[in-house]
Amino acid sequence: MTSPYLWLLCMCAVLPAMLFWDNTAVLAAFIVLFGLSYTLLYWRIVRFKAPRWMRPRVSLRRPVRQVPGQG
């Protein structure tokens, strides 16, 4: 479940590096932005205040009952 979030986080670093490979000032700004966003996200997760989009979804379906004598 965490892989898509980590892929997005990785893409936030890879995309600017590919688009602005020849502009040091822009890359430096993206490094600072990435560091701040990573620190904020990690800080919230550690304090158990994860953003709503990162929380696991609860299934509303009822569990299937097993019939006695079968399996």
Q: In this model, does residue 65 exceed pLDDT 80?
A: no
List the domain boundaries for the chain.
Answer: 3-54
Which two structure tokens, joined as six digits, stand for 28? 């430096």
Residue with tokens 């919230």, as numbered in its chain: 44
Average pLDDT over residues 38-62: 72
- Answering whether pTM is above 0.85, one says no
Identify the band that residue 59 occupies on the pLDDT scale cut at 50, 70 and 90.
Answer: low
pLDDT tens, position by position, 13-47: 899 999 999 999 999 999 999 899 888 878 777 76
Looking at residue 63, its pLDDT comes to 61
Residue partners of 30: CB distance under 8 A and separation at least 6: 13, 16, 17, 20
